[in-house]
A = this chain, B = another copy of it.
Amino acid sequence: MKPVIIVSTFPNKTVTKKIANALVKKKLAACVNITKIDSVYSWKGKIQNDSEYLAIFKTTKKNEKTLKNEIKKLHPYDVPEIAEINVNSMNKPYLDWLIDSTI
């Protein structure tokens, strides 16, 4: 079973942690790492400088599609980023735990 990392950004820590806890509880992600970021981006022609939170969801290939759909459903943004980063390899004991911790 292949491990998968999904990344998304959120407006604040409360929303990020709420969604992370919900998706770990549903066993769609085994672990979510969250960190504060400053984001620079253009929106409707204007450069924005906002603070956001980056969330790194760890799951299995089997759960990837459902996890992405749930992130989209729960996400407060109209156009959230939901991207999959390629994991070349993962140590077996951690991968086994990841598989046990997801549906």
Could you list which residues of chain A lie within 8 angstroms of chain B, going by C-beta atoms?
Answer: 3, 5, 9, 13, 17, 20-21, 24-25, 27, 30-42, 47, 49, 52, 54, 58, 68, 72, 79-91, 93-94, 97, 101
B residues within 8 A CB of A25? 42, 47
Q: Is chain A's interface secondary structure helix, strand, loop, or mixed overall?
A: strand
Q: Are B32 and A35 in contact, with the CB atoms below 8 A?
A: no
Q: Are B17 and A49 in contact, with the CB atoms below 8 A?
A: yes
B residues within 8 A CB of A90? 81-84
Copies of this protein, total: 3
In whole angstroms, how far apart are the Cα atoms of A35 and B80 in the complex? 19
Q: Are A86 and B88 in contact, with the CB atoms below 8 A?
A: yes
Q: Which of B37, B81, B83, B89 contacts A83 (CB 8 A)?
A: B89
In whole angstroms, how far apart are the Cα atoms of A68 and B17 in the complex? 30
